[in-house]
Structure 1
Amino acid sequence: MLLSNINFPLAKFPKTSTNINHFPFSNIKSVGSKKVLSSGKMKVLIDGYTYFNSPSHPLEAELHHQEFNTTDDTGIGILPFFHGKNILLTGATGLLGKVVVEKILRSMSVGKIYLLIKAKDKEAALTRLTNEITNSDLFKTLKQELGDSYEAMVREKLIPIAGNICEPNLGMDSESIARVRKDVDVIIQSAASTVLNDRYDLLVDANMSAPQRLMRFAKTCNNLTLFAHISTAYVSGKREGLIMERPFIMGENGRKEGLYDESTQLDIIEENNLILKSSSSSSNHHDLTKNLKRLAQDRATLFGWHNSYHMTKAMGEMALDEIRGDVPLLIIRPTVIESTYKEPFPGWIQGNRMFDPVIMAYGKGQLPGFFGDSQVIMDVIPVDMVANTTIAAIAKEGNMHRPHPQPRVYHVASSATNPLLYSDFFEYLFHYFNSSPLIPSQEISRIKYFDDFRDFSEYTRNAINGDKDKMPLKSQNQAKAKAAYAEKLCKLYEFIGFFNARFDTGNTESLIEAMSKEEKLSFEVDARNIEWKKYIEEIHIPGLIKHIINGTV
């Protein structure tokens, strides 16, 4: 039997692994001019790439007759799943979306990646693609690997689509709609408004209505395999203890008392009516903004969420499940996403993210105290691990012959498997900034913890103001502004300073167990492998200084 005459599914590996010695397998045997691994998989070189035959192919019987071990370790099958697949991605200019794009391009052979980019026309979308994505410092590793072929590859693989998820038909023109509808195999919904205390109407539109629009479009796609939605672990609200990976039920709230409370059933239609009522009663833009921000926080507090961002993300999950029909839905819930741990290089980050203003304020001597519990676990996860988990989970769920009847939820978190206490976190900060101060001659003291905001406020003002009677008026005003900023910062993030919960990662653990050794190396998803001291002191803070303070993207 000639191998070239056999038509079988292909699993593609990077060109860098074409040498048989590069693979983590032992006991390689020869069959004619081919190579057979101890697993029984036949290695074939086609166009410079390495392929293995499917274990279910009739060739397996031929190998069996030659008394080779036919036990296969294909794992999830991430590479073969994505081979030739066309993807629609929203939020590609954001932190996670950008890392997902880079990882896919660098690690596997996909078809097209359609990027829905907020822009007025194709030319503007292409400009944003170039300026904010392909010219990003994040892509320097891929540029180095591909050399002169980099530009041609991104032109072939990355297709910018001018649109807006907050508009009808996602803001796409008819030609784009027809093309994407015909081609797309996987949709990754990563776009969102992440402002914790924004106007209620803006948050509901971006985090609930927009995903609904995308799901309605998904239901018209010809070959859709899976819809992946990026949410947040903090949709859990004010619940405590071990938070499980389960989907929301329509009307559910986030209160501590339990999953259901008849007096606080969340009615999405009623929330929209309240927004319309508040909008119509506001006399000017300033009043409108103030009223809608107040309404957002009031409703979040009533229903048991820390802020309106978390609440509207929960509403988005409910709405997606309500209208999805038979579209398989995967929900990824990361905790606090921070800089890359390993890939494509350590320390890359975009935007001044949740813990980063706290880190920078402490490093500048503007945060002498912290409104939080030193023994509470803070939950941080590097963005490359979130991207890898998203990709691996899509492959795992997409390869299922019978999709789960309920949406599948994956927490991407560290609190349950590799906990990091605030006491350790701030000790790492103290060690770093004492060795490498942000401001020359700046003295940094160990942080003091407070569980009473008035005590925290008084201590902070005294520590920052010093002997204000001896200070010139300008310096007094600056000190007052710094103290006010520290108070605002800690009040804004109060929910994570006293967050007495851990996020279960059972589905993510099962994902890890199902992955092959090769996949675990290529797609790192295990938070237990994070060395926190190294990550904070050697990777994350230097990355913040380089990419945020010095302003590179």
Structure 2
Amino acid sequence: MKNAHVLITGATGFVGQAVLEKLLACYPTTRISLLVRPRGALSAEVRVTKLLRKACFTPWRESVGAAEADRIAAERVTVISGDLGDVPPLPGDIDVVVHSASTVSFDPPIDEAFAANVDGPVSLYEALLASGSDPHVVHVSTCYVAGMRKGVSEERSLEHHVDRVIETARALGARTELEAASRRPAVLGPILERARAEHRRAGAQAVAEAAEEARTTWVHDKLVRAGRLRSQSLGWPDVYTFTKALGERVAEDLWGRAGHRLSVVRPTVIESSFRHPYPGWIDGFKVADPLIAAYGRGMLPEFPALADTILDIIPVDHVVNAILAVAATPPEPSEPNYYQVASGIRNPLRFGRLLRIVRDYFSEHPLKDDAGSVVQVPKWSFPFGRQVERSMRRREWAVDVADRAVGRLPATNRSREWLSGLYKAKRDLGTLRKFSDLYQPYTQTEIIFDDAHTRALHEAIPAESKELHGFDVTEIDWEHYLQDVHIPNVPGLTRSRQARPTAGGAPKALPQRTDVLAVFDMHGTVAAANLLEHYVWVSLATGKGRALADLSAMVASSPTYLQAEHRDRGDFIRNFMRRYAGVDESELREVIASQIAPRLRARLLEEAVARIAEHRAAGHRTLLITGQVDVFVEPLADLFDEIAAGSMEKDAAGLWTGYLATSPLVDEARVAWLQRYARDHHLDLSASYAYGDTYADRPWLEIVGHPSVVNPDTALYRYAKSKRWPVLSWTTTADRGLTSIVRSLRPVKEDR
């Protein structure tokens, strides 16, 4: 490796950045070229600059000094901007290639997996052939290319007869076929009907967004399923291992058996570093980490694993050292070498032992749930996969039935508690289902990976260099590695040990700003009142004993109103306000000021009034936005900087016709209104606040930076939970004792 020019693909990935760091820190005479694609507005050069400041490089930067590290990087590292899908011209003096770029998800869409793991290597090797370079290529693969088999998997070329060209063509064309199918009435019709049923109240655009999201999800899910089924039909557990196997065949066909030098390195499950750059270094969730984290959070009461299955884990620095040792040991042209970096033969970690180690760790260092309670980790009995599957199906059915039943109940604190429990149950079941589908082939495997070539390579390293450059898996004490090195550094687990604030907890102090808007809905958010109560109040004040008759008529019309409310909030308001036909607005305004205003003020939610005051104290512009008619909310003018409400059409005599003068300011209409209002008043919606209580409020809640839901209906509650919006319970009013209708029938005492 002395004075070698090394090209690395996948340098921003887990293994790639570790290889780059090791070359910079321990191979000072090497020159390094990095093939890096731009991402969005970030150029390849900027991405590498950011990469060199990540935690992996911190020990090296500290050892040489920040300025010297920057100088070394500028002198030794060259960035080649490009993508594996279309590799640009490469230098003609490359000595070694470390090809570590790939998609590492087990279940990507089939076209994406083939583009990254099969078509990408084709582009790379064709670019190498065109460059004039004749490097030793170290092609990083995975041991699990061996597929679904039992026994010992040896370090040699794979035996299969899959036509990679045909499979690639079909895989890359699958998206076009499914995109066309998703637009046909047979598929799109049911999608649209479901979107209408679930999102109609939020407006036509919400329906359209939901339908398009469901259509793209349908395409994605079909592509994922196509990859899994095609892989399993040919003997691999998933599309990742299948395409990595075909990627090896590309390397052999285009390079290793075409007169060039090729070495294939196959690691097993790569996890955090054992020693270098520091113990426990990891970059994001790796293969075993989601299982460990979900178990520690109590989300996996059982799992379809075999206690005697070997979970073959290897620290990332062992993999890097093996890659660089292989790079320094080129084979003869057209005679590829194969190396499996594994621990299963010489230091096996069986799943039963792994569970005991992980359970002991979380028993001593327990996580906490959202409420701050300690999570009790389960004890697995290692049931057979069919038992777990039957149990999951029963629980999924029960949760689905309960969720649909609770969804039909009125929105109360009790129903929201039930929904919260069901939400957690569905989340946990979804996690179990996902992990069971993805990991079962690995947690029930009976394959062992031979590592004789890798072991011989390690033994050839001089004794004085073994600690720095070796990869002897027998030195790993699994209890120490997992409990003291790996698990404490799994991303997210440290934060989970602290109780997270609950969604309905005390809000943070509001920032002092004058360009921020605080928007409040009326009914159910600011006041525990509705259009029905307003009408009863008016009837009591003006009807001369007709209140009960009016109430009876209103009850008789309630099915019509409920249908309109379910279909469209605007239609409900239009229908209901027709009951006011013939009302004199000036007389009504006097009645509201003298008799109805006290009732409305008594129904204000005290928590809402306090929150409005906090926003005003912080300098925020407060706005009440409502579909109600303006005269009914005028008594609240002192609480807000501005009120946006509707108005009624009047005839020549000044009487209400029963028709609205303006369209109701509800659901999506509020979005356009608020956006224009913000522009006109130079307000920053991304820093603004909004408070609503029904699913019809969703569109305008989404356009602010800080949405909150108050006493939400079931649909909005579910949506808020999925978005992690705060859920607030505001229930205190000045008039607490009776139900709203009975309370409304009490006379107002006039001041004398």
Structure-2 residue corresponding to 1:136? 54
Aligned residues, how many? 439
Measured after TM superposition, the shift of residue 279 of structure 1 is 4.0
Does residue 451 of structure 1 match 2:380?
no
**Equivalent residue, structure 1, for 2:252:** 321
Q: Which secondary structure state, in structure 2, belongs to the residue aligned with residue 235 of structure 1? A: helix
SS at match of 2:137: strand
CA distance in structure 2 between the partners assigned to 1:510 and 1:499 by the alignment: 26
Structure 1 residue 290 displacement after superposition: 3.8
Deviation digits for residues 175-212 of structure 1, max 9, x if unmatched? xx3xx423311111110011212222211111011112
Indicate the residue corresponding to 1:201 in structure 2: 111
Corresponding residue to 1:477 among 414, 420, 423: 423
Q: Secondary structure at the match of 1:219?
A: helix
User: How far did 1:511 drift?
Assistant: 0.4
Distance across 1 between alignment mates of 2:225 and 2:360: 40
Within 2, Cα distance between the matches of 1:98 and 1:297? 29
Distance 2:95 2:311 in 1: 36
In 2, Cα distance between the equivalents of 1:144 and 1:460? 53
| Separation (CA, whole Å) in 2 of partners of 1:120 and 1:353 | 22
Structure 2 match to 1:341: 274
- The alpha-carbon distance between structure 1 residues 460 and 278, as it changes in their structure 2 partners (threshold 3 A), is closer
**Within the alignment, does 1:302 sit opposite 2:233 as a pair?**
yes
For the pair shown, the structure with the greater C-alpha radius of gyration is 2
Give the Å deviation of 1:521.
2.0
Secondary structure of the residue that 2:98 maps to in structure 1?
Answer: strand
Aligned mates of 2:34, 2:114 — CA distance in 1 = 23
- 1:184 and 1:499 map into 2 onto residues whose CA distance is 40
Residue 386 of structure 1: aligned partner: 319
Residue 185 in 1 paired to residue 95 in 2? yes
Please give the per-residue CA displacement for 1:29-51, whole angstroms capped at 9, x wherever unaligned: xxxxxxxxxxxxxxxxxxxxxxx
Provide the identity percentage: 28
* Residue 268 (structure 1) aligned with residue 201 (structure 2): no
Q: 1:461 to 1:97 in 2, by over 3 A?
A: farther
Q: Which residue of 1 aligns with 2:298?
A: 365
2:143–2:267 CA contact under 8 A, matched in 1: yes
Distance 1:500 1:331 in 2: 23
Q: Is the 8 A contact 2:392 2:433 kept in 1?
A: no
Mark the CA change 1:453 to 1:352 in structure 2 (over 3 Å): closer, same or farther.
farther
Q: TM-score, normalised by structure 1?
A: 0.75
Match in the other structure for 2:458: 512
Check if 1:416 corresponds to 2:416: no
Alpha-carbon distance, 1:123 to partner: 6.9
Query: Given that residues 427 and 446 in structure 1 are in contact (C-alpha distance below 8 angstroms), is that contact kept between their aligned partners in structure 2?
Result: no
CA distance in 1, matches of 2:374, 2:221: 42
Residue in 1 that maps onto 2:126: 216
CA deviation after TM superposition for structure 1 residue 124, in Å: 0.9
Whole-angstrom distance in 1 between the partners of 2:145 and 2:360: 34
Gaps spanning 5+ residues in structure 1: where? 1-81, 253-264
Q: Which of 372, 382, 406 is the matching residue for 2:335?
A: 406
Q: Are 1:281 and 2:177 matched, yes or no?
A: yes
Query: What residue is the counterpart of 1:94 in the other structure?
Result: 13
The aligned counterpart of 2:36 is 117
CA distance in 2, matches of 1:421, 1:432: 17
- State which drifts further: 224-233 or 540-549: 540-549
Using the alignment, how far apart are the partners of 1:495 and 1:153 within structure 2?
45
Higher alpha-carbon deviation: 511-520 or 217-226: 217-226
Q: CA deviation at 1:352?
A: 1.2
Higher fraction of helix: 2
Q: Which runs of 5+ in 2 are unaligned?
A: 183-214, 407-413, 497-752
Following the alignment from structure 1 to structure 2, what is the Cα–Cα distance between the partners of residues 547 and 129?
28
Q: Does the 8 A contact of 2:32 with 2:76 survive in 1? A: yes
TM alignment of 1:160-175, pairs within 5 A: 160-167=79-86, 170=87, 172=88
Inter-CA distance 337–277: structure 2 relative to 1 (3 Å threshold): closer
Letter in 2 for 1:98: Q
Contact 1:122 1:161 in 2 (8 A): no
- In the alignment, is the contact (CA less than 8 A) between 2:30 and 2:76 conserved in 1? yes
| Deviation of 1:430 (Å) | 0.8
Which one-letter code corresponds to 2:388 in the other structure? D
- CA deviations 1:66-91 (Å, max 9, x no partner) are xxxxxxxxxxxxxxxx2211111000
Deviation at 1:476, TM superposition (A): 2.0
Mapped to 2, the partners of 1:125 and 1:493 lie a distance apart of 34
Give the SS at the match of 2:43. helix
State the Cα distance separating 1:462 from its structure 2 match. Answer: 6.9
Using CA pairs under 8 Å that are at least 6 residues apart, name the structure with larger relative contact order, 1 or 2: 1
Q: Distance in 2 between matches of 1:290 and 1:362?
A: 26
Q: Is the 8 A contact 2:146 2:158 kept in 1?
A: no
1:532 partnered with 2:478: yes
Displacement after TM superposition at 1:506 (Å): 0.9
Task: Please say if residues 337 and 383 of structure 1, whose CA atoms lie closer than 8 Å, have aligned partners that are also in contact.
Answer: yes
Shift of 1:396: 1.7
Residue 85 of structure 2: SS of its match in structure 1?
A: coil
Q: What's the RMSD between the two structures over aligned residues? A: 2.6
Relative distance call for 1:420 and 1:276 in structure 2 (3 A) is closer
Kindly provide the CA deviation profile for residues 94-146 of structure 1, in whole angstroms up to 9, marking residues without a partner as x.
00001111111111123321111111799711111122x21101111101110
Cα gap change, 1:518 to 1:128, in 2 (>3 Å): same
For the 8 Å contact 1:381–1:412, the answer to whether it is kept is: yes
Paired with 1:476 and 1:279, the residues of 2 have a C-alpha distance of 35
Report the CA distance shift for 1:276/1:511 in structure 2 as closer, same or farther (over 3 A): closer
Matched with 2:150 is 240
Distance in 2, Cα, partners of 1:190 & 1:547: 28
Q: CA deviation at 1:340?
A: 0.5
